[in-house]
Amino acid sequence: MNAQQLLSRLQDTSPDGPLDRLAALVVEHELSQPLTALLPPSLLARAVTQALEGALASPTAERELASALQHLQEQLTQDKRTVREALPPELTKAAVELASRRYSPDRALVLALLDRPPVRTLVGALLLNVLIEFSRKVSAPVTENRIAKGFSGLARLAADQARNSGALGGIAGALSDEIERQVEKRARDFVDSALSGIFQQVADALSNPTRHAEHAELRVALLDGVLGLHLSRLGRELGQVDVPGGTAVARKGIAQWLASGRALPELESFITRAMERDGQRPVREVLGAFGLLDTFQTMGRESVRGRLGPIVGSTPFARWLEEVMREP
Q: Answer yes or no: do 135 and 60 share one domain.
A: no
Paired with 282 in beta bridges are 34
Q: Answer yes or no: do 188 and 265 share one domain.
A: no
Q: Answer yes or no: do 322 and 289 share one domain.
A: yes
Res 90: pLDDT: 95
Based on the number of CB atoms within 10 Å of its own CB, is 180 exposed (0-12), middle (13-18) or buried (19 or more)? middle
Q: Answer yes or no: do 114 and 194 share one domain.
A: yes
Asked if residue 125 is part of any domain, the answer here is yes
Q: Answer yes or no: do 201 and 111 share one domain.
A: yes
Which amino acid belongs to residue 22? L
Q: Answer yes or no: do 286 and 316 share one domain.
A: yes
Q: Answer yes or no: do 113 and 179 share one domain.
A: yes
Closest by Cα among 111, 283, 73 to 195: 111
Res 43: pLDDT: 94
Residues 94, 28: Cα–Cα separation, whole Å: 36
Res 62: pLDDT: 84
Residue 304 CB neighbour total at 10 angstroms: 19
Residues 138, 186: Cα–Cα separation, whole Å: 15
Q: Answer yes or no: do 235 and 322 share one domain.
A: no
Q: Answer yes or no: do 272 and 235 share one domain.
A: yes
Q: Answer yes or no: do 269 and 237 share one domain.
A: yes
Residues 140, 138: Cα–Cα separation, whole Å: 6
Find how far residue 117's CA is from the centre of its chain. 23
pTM score, whole prediction: 0.67
Res 152: pLDDT: 46
Q: Answer yes or no: do 235 and 263 share one domain.
A: yes
Asked if residue 88 is part of any domain, the answer here is no
Asked if residue 160 is part of any domain, the answer here is no
Q: SS3 sequence, 236-270?
A: HHHHCCCHHHHHHHHHHHHHHHHHCCCHHHHHHHH
The domain tally of the chain equals 3
pLDDT tens digits, the chain, 328 residues: what are they? 677 888 888 888 788 888 899 999 999 999 999 999 988 999 999 999 999 999 999 888 888 888 888 899 999 999 999 999 999 999 999 999 999 998 888 999 988 888 888 888 888 888 887 777 776 665 555 445 544 444 444 444 444 544 554 444 444 444 455 556 666 677 777 777 788 888 888 888 888 888 888 889 989 999 999 999 999 999 998 888 887 888 889 889 999 999 999 999 999 999 999 999 999 999 999 999 999 999 999 999 999 988 888 998 898 988 888 888 877 6
Domain that holds residue 259: 41-80+230-276
Asked if residue 304 is part of any domain, the answer here is yes
Q: How far is CA 176 from CA 22, 144, 161, 183, in A?
A: 94, 13, 15, 10
Q: Answer yes or no: do 268 and 287 share one domain.
A: no
| CB environment 188-222: b (16+ within 10 A), e (fewer) | eeebeeebeebbeeebeebbeeeeeeebbeebbee
